Amino acid sequence: MSSNQFFEKKGPFPLKEILNVIGYNGELSIKKDFKIHSFESLDRAHENDLTFLNSSKYQNLSLKTNAAACITSPNLSKFLPEKCIKLNVKNVLFAVTQASKMFYPNADIDLPDTNLLKYDEILKLYPNVKFGKNILIGKNVKIGESSVIGNNSIIESNVKIGNNCIIGSSVVIKNSIIFNNVHIQDGAKIGVKGFGFIPIKNKNMRTPHVGKVILEDGVEIGANSTIDRGSLTDTVIGQNTFLDNQVHVAHNVKIGKNCMIAGQVGFAGSTILGDNVVIGGQAGVSGHLKIGSNVKIGGGSGVINDIPDNHQVMGYPAVPLKEFIKQRKK
């Protein structure tokens, strides 16, 4: 079972118990008392784990998964290894939500951290850190030397912050690991639950988010930006990447190194960016896309397709820059 310092994890569970919860009624050739240890993404799953596949976009990962069983649909089963048990269901995301809640029953909502240190305890634990006023810090937080935490900021339990970091005022950090020399400006919210809901008839069902946020060395996060933690995997901002003010990064997004993201850009979930990407203000990037390295996206663009390395695009939908200029001249 993989460890998770931010969420209480249950299990292992007999496979038959999981089958009942997800509504699987098919036949299996193995004993249903076989125990599943964890619920993991395709690439992280081990031989006693459960995973899921809901899109052929991820067949490169699904064909190599080591998972014991996979929640999926009949048309996607062919993208799984022969040894993997195919749990074909009508509604994959509903089944995934139910299974995830078994292992992480408290991860579908964000309860405030009430397990906080007193101010004199904070000063004693972190003698080489400079604090503003009205700071709230949870238990088991690690803060590196020469870091600064601004007024009215909240650092929740088990968060790790490296050396020489500057955390502005009114910042909230939870479910996150922050490397060295990171600068987070005022009002940013890091590690909050992502926007994950499954519409079931007239009621929306929350999906658990048990991943974390990782900010690598030298990252800068602009004022009032929001970075959601991952659902099963992590949300990652790569080394020396700068985000301007009011940027939103959804769950599972991975941004490469040395990227420059201007104000009010929004990333939908599970999109992956390469290195040295530049995006102009108020651009929107749809989910589950791959944006190559050295890509430039003009301000106000709407990106709905993958973009290869070294391309420049603009417009809605975003097209190659030369094509956009031709369209404007007509």
Q: Which CATH number belongs to the domain containing residue 33 in this structure?
A: 3.40.1390.10
pLDDT of residue 202 exceeding 90: no
User: Are 134 and 250 in a shared domain?
Assistant: yes
CB 103 within 8 A of CB 206: no
User: Are 92 and 124 in a shared domain?
Assistant: no
Using CB atoms within 10 Å of the CB of residue 201, give its burial: 0 to 12 exposed, 13 to 18 middle, 19+ buried: exposed
Its sign, for the CA torsion 101, 105, 110, 116, is negative
302-303 and 13-14: which strand pairing? unpaired
Q: Could you tell me if residue 2 is inside a domain?
A: no
Please count the other Cβ atoms lying within 10 Å of the Cβ belonging to residue 176.
25
pLDDT of residue 171 exceeding 50: yes
147-169 mean pLDDT:
98
Residues sharing a CB contact under 8 Å with residue 153, sequence separation 6 or more, in sequence order: 132, 135, 136, 167, 168, 169, 170, 171, 172, 173
Q: What is the domain count for the chain?
A: 2
Question: What per-residue string of b and e applies to 254-279 under the rule 16 or more CB within 10 Å gives b?
Answer: bbbbbbbbbbbbebbbbbbbbbbbeb
Of the chain, the percentage scoring pLDDT greater than 70 comes to 98
pLDDT of residue 31 exceeding 80: no
User: Are 181 and 284 in a shared domain?
Assistant: yes
Instruction: Report residue 173's pLDDT band, with 50, 70 and 90 as the boundaries.
Output: very high
pLDDT of residue 39 exceeding 80: yes
Over residues 6-16, the pLDDT tens digits come to: 988 998 999 99
134-157 mean pLDDT:
97
User: Which residue range forms the structural domain that includes residue 126?
Assistant: 119-329
111-115 mean pLDDT:
89
Residues sharing a CB contact under 8 Å with residue 75, sequence separation 6 or more, in sequence order: none
Of the chain, the percentage scoring pLDDT greater than 90 comes to 82
User: Are 99 and 228 in a shared domain?
Assistant: no
How far apart are the C-alpha atoms of 287 and 310, rounded to whole Å? 20
User: Are 249 and 145 in a shared domain?
Assistant: yes
Instruction: Report residue 1's pLDDT band, with 50, 70 and 90 as the boundaries.
Output: very low
Give the range among 112-116, 178-182, 297-301 with minimum mean pLDDT: 112-116
What is the set of active-site residues?
251
The residue with greater pLDDT, 247 or 201, is: 247
First to last CA, the chain: 60
User: Are 174 and 31 in a shared domain?
Assistant: no
Averaged pLDDT score across all residues of the chain: 93
The residue with greater pLDDT, 24 or 146, is: 146
144-159 mean pLDDT:
97
Domain-ending residue, one of 46, 74, 103: 103
Q: Could you tell me if residue 263 is inside a domain?
A: yes
User: Are 155 and 192 in a shared domain?
Assistant: yes
**Quick one: pLDDT at residue 109?**
83
User: Are 55 and 150 in a shared domain?
Assistant: no
Q: Could you tell me if residue 28 is inside a domain?
A: yes
**Quick one: pLDDT at residue 203?**
81
**Quick one: pLDDT at residue 25?**
81
What does each C-alpha distance from 167 to 157, 180, 223, 224, 314 come to in angstroms?
Answer: 16, 12, 11, 12, 34
Over residues 40-76, the pLDDT tens digits come to: 999 999 999 999 999 999 999 999 999 999 999 999 9
User: Are 194 and 253 in a shared domain?
Assistant: yes
pLDDT of residue 32 exceeding 70: no
Q: Which CATH number belongs to the domain containing residue 297 in this structure?
A: 2.160.10.10
Over residues 213-246, the pLDDT tens digits come to: 999 999 999 999 999 999 999 999 999 999 999 9
What is the Rg, in whole angstroms, of the alpha carbon atoms belonging to the chain?
21
